[in-house]
Structure 1
């Protein structure tokens, strides 16, 4: 005869209305405290410069009420549905999902190639596509440092800034340092003499200079890991920004650098006239030609970053990066040179950041320190983490979702950051390892090796 179930056990398995209401009230109170200053009170700058505020208690009440009702609904669903275990999908469904996963990357590439054709007359979408591809490239560059090597870098925007300012300064005035021009006049060539070819010459130079700064960052942090490494890289990013802001004779300080030369189609300028690209191919000139060229240029740079990263993963250096990410102590015990491994990761990641910075400078035509704040580093790091550290496809999807999604919620005005943050929290709860958390190992056995029983000897004594 089964033992009777006590009321305490029943309450534990089946919470009543009192428990549900108590949890909903607690959730609503927490929401009230959190959103009182974020939504309930709005501050603005008055006409004479003073700070004025206005109240939005109606919107605050609506949000708190939504949290209260949502908590009740969630608890009722848990009560009625119960815990859901893992669901085993049929073999046909798993095969279909696997096929879709393999076709997703080629489909995204084909769509990216057709974007300028489909949206030729929509300047806003072309600009948005260029912005998304820029962050895709930055995400793939940081993925080398964070995703493959496991080095938490919070100052990646520093290399972005080095690339941008290197291109801007060299394109305008050659080597800007009087020491070199006075001591070594044969080195002090003026890149303005290169004319239309200046961009193509300075692009690799900007990347190499950023890689040099990546090595300079790597030396002081060779013995640091985890939070300490993050703090030092964050400080490095702020140091670069403050140097740019205060070294006015070189960088222009807060005024920035303007009049940066535009890129050309391998020496042919995208300008109206007989020498322009449009006249050369026999089509009417349109300002959209430059946007289309910039789109394909950043797409090429991003694909180059992706190709190099994939190739490096299959080389010994890539396998060493992944091994160091999993266990640095074990790598040292195996005789792996951790110094070279870390410096190579910082240098290669910084080089791609420098390429993106040079493209950003030539696309904008103007750069200033406000474009290279810590917020940019945090955004790129969020793209890498949400996409799945080490996953190239996941980083691309996360960049499209975060940059494109941010524009999608632009109509929500001041609430878009709240909505965007909530979506990120839900994504991290449901997919803690990122959008694409699974990836094929770099090295794995094609066939399992069986050990013969004759090779196994039982020991005695």
Structure 2
């Protein structure tokens, strides 16, 4: 029982690590304060669940979940490309509310608050992934590929251009770089991998509903990114382990079950405050959170 529980926590850590490193592309490397990242997670989850419910092979549904989220990332970036700072944050937050409202009210497609039950486990070229241990291996392999791809992106010449957008957009534009296109591309890359994480989540849990992707969950992802450090992939992975695993200790403390949820939020808040006070760059970050 304990080993099954630990495997479950490990799978959730892997999924949130993907969400954190993908968000770090936009926030940490490009300086785009996106508070709607959880929406891309939800779009990927619903896209994959709906497609497989209609007998689309999982491998295609997995790719489609990333592509669908990326298209919405393109749309969001197009709308918000000229916004900065707090205005960008509010616009992306509004986008998250819109996506949540669509999930909740488009009942013919999403079943609304009833959610989508019975989402099948992945079948990869004949390999039916049913056990939690097998799913952990599968999700970890996908996460490893994603981290390697993002690592290559952010450490390439293209990655330096993204950092130029973050550090000195006017200077980069003066040198002939298309800041607008770079922002759009960064948001699309970030959204694509969040969509993949959504697919992994949906087919692991086997049930999704709009409440899973409510905006309050962005707090967890941002906490991971901030604790790990902006523009630090290693930090995002380590912070995902800490932030997801630490509140689970509450299960082994003799407290009412109704208090576990609020205490989780308190733990996230305390961690954020301590990091911002004593380690503004996070554990491994290279830049301060302004």
What TM-score do the two structures reach when normalised by structure 1?
Answer: 0.58
Give the whole-Å Cα distance in 1 for the aligned partners of 2:118 and 2:31: 39
Give the whole-Å Cα distance in 2 for the aligned partners of 1:416 and 1:239: 26
Query: For 2:191, which of 347, 350, 373 is the aligned residue?
Result: 350
Q: What is the RMSD of the two structures over their aligned residues, measured on CA atoms?
A: 1.7
Query: For 2:238, which of 382, 397, 405 is the aligned residue?
Result: 397
Give the whole-Å Cα distance in 1 for the aligned partners of 2:108 and 2:44: 18
Give the whole-Å Cα distance in 1 for the aligned partners of 2:116 and 2:166: 39
Give the whole-Å Cα distance in 1 for the aligned partners of 2:144 and 2:181: 26
Query: For 1:437, which of 272, 280, 285 is the aligned residue?
Result: 285
Give the whole-Å Cα distance in 2 for the aligned partners of 1:372 and 1:426: 27
Counterpart check, 1:160 vs 2:47? no
Measured at CA, do residues 347 and 423 of structure 1 come closer, stay the same or move farther in structure 2, by a change above 3 Å?
A: closer
Offset of 1:378 from its aligned partner? 2.0
Offset of 1:438 from its aligned partner? 4.0
Give the whole-Å Cα distance in 2 for the aligned partners of 1:409 and 1:430: 25
> Conserved in 1, the CA contact under 8 Å of 2:80 and 2:91?
yes
Query: For 2:110, which of 243, 247, 251 is the aligned residue?
Result: 251
CA offsets, 1:366-396, max 9 Å, x none?
Answer: 1100000111222111211111101011111
Query: For 1:298, which of 123, 139, 146 is the aligned residue?
Result: 139
CA offsets, 1:210-249, max 9 Å, x none?
Answer: 1111101110111100000000000001100101101111
Measured at CA, do residues 214 and 255 of structure 1 come closer, stay the same or move farther in structure 2, by a change above 3 Å?
A: same
Matches within 5 A, 1:62-461: 122-173=3-54, 191=56, 198-270=57-129, 290-410=131-251, 411=253, 412-413=255-256, 414=259, 415=263, 417-438=265-286
Give the whole-Å Cα distance in 2 for the aligned partners of 1:378 and 1:344: 24
Give the whole-Å Cα distance in 2 for the aligned partners of 1:348 and 1:383: 19
Give the whole-Å Cα distance in 2 for the aligned partners of 1:428 and 1:422: 10
CA offsets, 1:185-216, max 9 Å, x none?
Answer: xxxxx52xxxxxx1112111111111111101
Give the whole-Å Cα distance in 2 for the aligned partners of 1:346 and 1:222: 10
Give the whole-Å Cα distance in 1 for the aligned partners of 2:157 and 2:268: 39
Measured at CA, do residues 403 and 336 of structure 1 come closer, stay the same or move farther in structure 2, by a change above 3 Å?
A: same
What is the number of equivalent residue pairs in this alignment? 280
Greater RCO (CA < 8 Å, at least 6 residues apart) = 2
Measured at CA, do residues 292 and 337 of structure 1 come closer, stay the same or move farther in structure 2, by a change above 3 Å?
A: same
What TM-score do the two structures reach when normalised by structure 2?
Answer: 0.92
Give the whole-Å Cα distance in 1 for the aligned partners of 2:132 and 2:70: 28
Query: Quick check: which one's helix share is greater?
Result: 2
Measured at CA, do residues 215 and 125 of structure 1 come closer, stay the same or move farther in structure 2, by a change above 3 Å?
A: same
> Conserved in 2, the CA contact under 8 Å of 1:137 and 1:301?
no
Offset of 1:416 from its aligned partner? 5.0
Give the whole-Å Cα distance in 2 for the aligned partners of 1:331 and 1:393: 27
When structure 1 is superposed on structure 2, of 138-147 and 313-322 the one drifting more is 313-322
CA offsets, 1:395-445, max 9 Å, x none?
Answer: 111111111111123425534543553243223222111011349xxxxxx
